[in-house]
């Protein structure tokens, strides 16, 4: 900071440090060189005044006649505007001149910077006087602060951004949290009232939540920090839903509106027109922002015409009540302003019903689009409004509209599945199922089907089976062939995951029969795809290829992008098992590109893992390791246990091939534990076989034989022909290692004959 007595000024001495905003400060100082009027806008408490004062202090040397601060916060009468400026600048009134003339004559030749603070309540008068002063005083520059811009000639408007905030979901350490401006401000202000305050691993998550939920607004954070004198940071976080009673500990010397959060927002609210106030309260029903179309449908009635919504949104944006993001073409509101608006909402029930109905219609429109050419577009739409869908469902359950919430949850099932948000889907469906009130059997059957599907993805196969069997019974009771087909398809999936391939095959075939009866091409394609998975698991590669080509043809015919991607990936799986790595890579990369386009995290993670397998088979261990690590990150993010186990097992294979057998064993054992937890027999067999490989490589042939026998028995149980062949071959290796060449020859011959049967249809593998 410059030495303030180097130039004339009346800048108030700041008793606390200025934290953060270095980039913004640099930008504003550059703009001040190019512009004569800078208006700093932003919501109440954003730190506009402090930012202006810091800027002025930093550039004071550039103004020969100094920098001057004019506080308009207490001024109500526009007739006193000029005289207030005269008083602040220390100018003597002249009896033969008006206040405007005295002010302009004094400033005419001055090289001076004036801060005009808190212009919002006199915005028109401030704009007129500012434009007149700037026109008459060529060396003068001004910085104004206001909730809205003055809209006068030569004005450069800059919205003060909130302080940077941590993502509460990131689990930052105390050290990592200090990189965020809002956290640094909280810590400094907390220490001023409680010198014993410390950020620890235990309270760091609560601190991140507080700074995030207060939207990085400096005054709100300072008010929260003041409570550290009496409350822990965890208690402050717990009370944020009642923030207007919590955040009341402002300095006695501060302006009344800066002493409590409510008073601060009251100031903004009281400056609005009646329709602006009404719209503010109605917009508070949205969660996570909204589009213009949503506001027009939800917030209009006989009081506010639909055609007036756009203008009112613009006015509220100008006045820093809401924020418009032009890159997303969406509006949002800070959480404190949202809570305030909800309190002011008089027709609460009606608005929430309109909100529920809007997102019900949007979910119904989205469902078929998630399968077609516009999948990517609609995935983005649902993602953008995901919080609105969730709040609509939750409100429906608590306000006797659970049927509508149930419809929304069923329509969003494929979105939750593809984005890996299984726990979200389970939570919302469960609160609907557990709530009081009636629910149609058709809706309940669909919900049980979805919850079963999500349980499969999370590795909770026994629970999944229970839900799916209940769904099947309900659908049979009401004779819903589509529901029966879907329940059987999912029951096929759960039995496939458990390694019961024959039973899974029966479910898929029966599901397909029902889909054929109702003429569902997407259902026929899905079951054909699933039958291809069974054929692949059983080592019948020619049949697997045939099924996947059939499903790909149908999915392309109906424009089902997700189905196209999975069919292509499965053809890559076949090529990988048959050793055509280049073709496998071509298929996998093509499928992965499609899955990325539609945002399917589950499919992406499996594709990346299989690309790792291709690299592993080609001896590119470093590349394989990168793929496996990348897939593991995604699987962990979405909580997909079978994928986590697969990626860990795959990483073990890389280590084993690099000669690190003991480290590899730890990975194999970790994957084995997960596979046992979820009951995946195929995964258990794979992990045991690989533990056997470690024992064999270390010369422990007896232990290796035991593991290979155990894996062989499990492969036989589930009918995995390639697994059987591999385990038989490994037993031959053990015999060879023990120098029992006769037994080795017999076992190897047996393995070869078995493999020969499997590979007779290799000629079917064509690009």
Residues 714-728 have pLDDT tens digits of 888 887 777 777 777
The model's confidence at residue 762, banded by pLDDT at 50, 70 and 90, is very low
Residue 579, phi then psi, degrees to nearest 5: 85, 5
Residue 198, phi then psi, degrees to nearest 5: -140, 145
The whole model's pTM is what?
A: 0.82
Q: Which of 147, 142, 118 is nearest to 44 (CA)?
A: 147
The model's confidence at residue 759, banded by pLDDT at 50, 70 and 90, is very low
Q: Lowest mean pLDDT: which of 4-18, 456-470, 639-653?
A: 4-18
Residues 663 and 652: their CA atoms lie apart, in Å, by 7
pLDDT value at 256 more than 70: no
Residues 663 and 648: their CA atoms lie apart, in Å, by 12
User: Crossing angle for the helix pair 581-598 and 561-577, nearest 10 degrees?
Assistant: 160
Residues 66 and 59: their CA atoms lie apart, in Å, by 9
Q: Lowest mean pLDDT: which of 27-36, 114-123, 239-248?
A: 239-248
Q: Lowest mean pLDDT: which of 241-250, 354-363, 605-614?
A: 241-250
pLDDT value at 765 more than 50: no
Please tell me the predicted confidence (pLDDT) of residue 760.
Answer: 46
The per-residue DSSP string of 323-347 comes to: EEETTTTEEE--HHHHHHHHHH-SS
Q: How far is CA 437 from the centre of its chain?
A: 32
Please tell me the predicted confidence (pLDDT) of residue 169.
Answer: 85
Residues 524 and 479: their CA atoms lie apart, in Å, by 19
Q: Which of 389, 411, 400, 402 is nearest to 430 (CA)?
A: 402
The mean per-residue pLDDT over the stretch 545-554 comes to 96
Residues 8 and 107: their CA atoms lie apart, in Å, by 14
pLDDT tens digits along 495-520: 998 888 899 999 999 999 999 999 99
pLDDT value at 546 more than 90: yes
Is pLDDT larger for residue 358 or for residue 248?
Answer: 358
pLDDT tens digits along 23-37: 999 999 999 999 999
Please tell me the predicted confidence (pLDDT) of residue 366.
Answer: 93
The model's confidence at residue 436, banded by pLDDT at 50, 70 and 90, is confident
When the pLDDT of each residue in the chain is averaged and rounded to a whole number, the result is 88
pLDDT value at 140 more than 60: yes
pLDDT tens digits along 360-412: 999 999 998 888 788 889 999 999 999 999 999 999 999 989 999 999 999 99
Q: How far is CA 505 from the centre of its chain?
A: 37
pLDDT tens digits along 527-539: 999 999 999 888 8
323-336 exposure pattern, b = at least 16 Cβ within 10 A, e = fewer: bbeeeeebbbbbbb
3-state DSSP assignment of residue 66: coil
The model's confidence at residue 605, banded by pLDDT at 50, 70 and 90, is very high
Residues 528 and 16: their CA atoms lie apart, in Å, by 69
pLDDT tens digits along 187-237: 999 998 899 999 999 999 999 999 999 988 888 888 888 889 889 999 999
pLDDT value at 601 more than 50: yes
């Amino acid at each position: 900071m410059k030495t303030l007595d180097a130039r004339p000024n009346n800048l108030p001495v700041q008793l606390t440090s200025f934290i953060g905003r270095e980039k913004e400060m640099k930008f504003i100082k550059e703009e001040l060189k190019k512009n004569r009027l800078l208006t700093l806008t932003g919501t109440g408490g954003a730190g506009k005044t402090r930012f202006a004062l810091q800027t002025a202090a930093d550039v004071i040397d550039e103004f020969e006649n100094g920098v001057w601060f004019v506080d308009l916060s207490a001024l109500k009468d526009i007739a006193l505007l000029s005289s207030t400026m005269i008083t602040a600048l220390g100018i003597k009134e002249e009896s033969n001149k008006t206040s405007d003339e005295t002010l302009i004559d004094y400033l005419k030749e001055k090289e001076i910077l004036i801060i005009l603070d808190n212009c919002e309540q006199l915005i028109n008068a401030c704009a007129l006087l500012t434009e007149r002063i700037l026109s008459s005083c060529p060396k003068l520059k001004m910085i104004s602060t206001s909730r809205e811009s003055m809209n006068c000639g030569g004005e450069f408007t800059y919205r003060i951004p909130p302080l940077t905030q941590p993502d509460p979901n990131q689990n930052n350490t105390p050290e990592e949290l200090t990189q965020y401006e809002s956290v640094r401000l909280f810590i400094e202000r907390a220490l001023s009232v409680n010198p014993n305050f410390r950020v620890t691993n235990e309270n760091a998550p609560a601190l991140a939540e507080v700074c995030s939920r207060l939207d990085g607004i400096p005054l709100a954070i300072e008010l929260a920090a003041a409570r550290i004198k009496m409350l822990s940071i965890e208690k402050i976080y717990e009370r944020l839903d009642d923030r207007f009673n919590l955040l009341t500990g402002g300095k006695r010397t501060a302006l009344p509106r800066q002493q409590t959060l409510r008073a601060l927002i009251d100031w903004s609210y009281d400056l609005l027109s009646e329709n602006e106030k009404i719209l503010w309260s109605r917009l508070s029903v949205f969660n996570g922002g909204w589009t213009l179309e949503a506001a027009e449908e939800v917030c209009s009635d006989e009081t506010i015409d639909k055609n007036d919504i756009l203008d009112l949104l613009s006015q509220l944006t100008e006045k820093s009540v809401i924020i418009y993001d032009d890159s997303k073409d969406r509006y949002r509101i800070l959480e404190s302003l949202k809570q305030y608006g909800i309190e002011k909402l008089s027709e609460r029930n009606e608005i929430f019903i309109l909100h529920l109905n809007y997102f019900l219609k949007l979910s119904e429109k989205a469902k078929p689009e998630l399968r077609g050419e516009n999948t990517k577009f609609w995935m983005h739409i649902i993602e953008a409004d995901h919080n609105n869908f969730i709040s609509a469902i939750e409100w429906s359950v608590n306000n006797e509209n659970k049927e509508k919430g149930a419809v929304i949850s069923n329509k969003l099932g494929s979105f939750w599945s593809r984005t890996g948000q299984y726990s979200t889907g389970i939570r919302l469906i469960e609160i609907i199922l557990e709530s009081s009130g009636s629910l149609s059997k058709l809706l309940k059957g669909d919900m049980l089907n979805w919850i079963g599907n999500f349980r499969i993805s999370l590795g909770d196969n026994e629970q999944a089976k229970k839900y799916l069997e209940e769904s099947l019974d309900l659908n049979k009771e009401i004779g819903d062939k589509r529901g029966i087909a879907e329940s059987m398809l999912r029951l096929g999936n759960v039995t496939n995951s458990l390694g019961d391939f024959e039973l899974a095959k029966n479910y898929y075939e029966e599901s397909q029969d029902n889909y054929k009866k109702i003429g569902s091409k997407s259902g026929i394609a899905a079951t054909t795809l699933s039958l291809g998975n069974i054929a692949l698991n059983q080592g019948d590669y020619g049949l697997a290829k045939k099924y996947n080509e059939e499903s790909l043809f149908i999915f392309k015919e109906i424009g089902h992008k997700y189905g196209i991607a999975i069919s292509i990936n499965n053809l890559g799986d076949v090529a990988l098992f048959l050793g055509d790595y280049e073709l496998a890579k071509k298929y996998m990369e093509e499928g992965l590109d499609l899955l990325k386009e539609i945002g399917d995290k589950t499919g992406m993670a499996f594709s990346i893992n299989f690309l790792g397998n291709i690299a592993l088979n080609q001896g590119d261990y470093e590349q394989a390791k990168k793929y496996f690590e990348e897939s593991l990150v995604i699987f962990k993010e979405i909580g997909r246990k079978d994928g986590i186990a697969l990626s860990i097992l795959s990483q073990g294979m890389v280590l084993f091939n690099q000669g690190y057998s003991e480290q590899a064993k730890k990975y194999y054992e970790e994957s084995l534990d997960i596979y046992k937890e979820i009951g995946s027999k195929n995964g258990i067999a794979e992990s045991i076989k690989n533990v056997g490989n470690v024992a064999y490589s270390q010369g422990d042939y007896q232990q290796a034989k035991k593991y290979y026998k155990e894996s062989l028995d499990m492969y036989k149980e589930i009918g995995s022909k390639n697994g059987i062949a591999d385990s038989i071959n490994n037993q031959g290796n053990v015999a060879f290692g023990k120098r029992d060449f006769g037994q080795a020859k017999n076992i190897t011959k047996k393995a070869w004959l078995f493999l020969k049967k499997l590979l007779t249809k290799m000629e079917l593998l064509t690009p």
